[in-house]
Amino acid sequence: MLEFENMYKEQGYKAICGVDEAGRGPLAGPVFAAAVILPEGLEIEGVTDSKKLTEKKREQLFDVIKENALAYCVASASVEEIESLNILQADMLAMKRAVEGLGIQADFAMIDGNKTPSLTIPCTAIVKGDAKSESIAAASILAKVSRDRLMFDLAKKYPEYGFEKHKGYGTKAHMEAILKYGPCEIHRLSFLKKLLGEKK
């Protein structure tokens, strides 16, 4: 999991951050991103793509990553930004905010996926990076846990939708709740056109 980190270290970069997002696909809530700089050579047992971990394991690793990271930042782009920019651009914005919010300025960024945000430092996109890079995997866990915690809190404000269970993703129960109660202010209306169109 340190192959990419070591490769870029050999090229002379010193503060390499991994960047990943969470919440690109849901029908509700903001999109989150995290950037993490880990100490050189550190391997945290169990760190991998957040989607492969149980919620309990992600929660445990969340604290371990924060305690061991040289620097980390979790950022987001709002539902309003998702609607005005589109999800891809909002995703890039959240990643940019995460990198720029690091307590230590990174000199290179490894981004999960096939696109990179516009950064002032060199960066590269790594497809399935959260399964290949320790730093990106750590970022995926911080982003996922942070977003899940927010959706759990929002479930108290909007109890009829069950956000604490599906975190805003388009499950059958979630879509049925939208059809029954209509969308609320944290729903991404551009994601609901097909669903609400079918209702009419």
* pLDDT at position 50: 86
pLDDT at 118 over 80: yes
Tokens at 99, concatenated: 């990198």
Domains annotated for the chain, with CATH where assigned, are 3-153 (3.30.420.10)
**Who contacts 80 (Cβ-Cβ below 8 Å, separation ≥6)?**
none
* pLDDT at position 200: 46
Q: Can you give the length of the chain in residues?
A: 200
* pLDDT at position 171: 97
Percent of the chain with pLDDT over 90: 93
> What is the tens place of the pLDDT at every residue in 183-194?
999 999 999 999
* pLDDT at position 1: 86
pLDDT range class, residue 199, cuts 50, 70, 90: low
* Secondary structure (DSSP) of the chain: --HHHHHHHHTT--SEEEEEEE-SS-SBS-EEEEEEEPPTT---TT-S-GGGS-HHHHHHHHHHHHHH-SEEEEEEE-HHHHHHH-HHHHHHHHHHHHHHT-SS--SEEEEESS-----SS-EEEETTGGGT-HHHHHHHHHHHHHHHHHHHHHHHHSGGG-HHHHTT---HHHHHHHHHH---TTB-GGGSHHHHHHH-
CA-CA distance, 95 to 87, in Å (whole number)? 12
**Who contacts 11 (Cβ-Cβ below 8 Å, separation ≥6)?**
none
CB atoms under 10 Å from CB of 136, counted, come to: 31
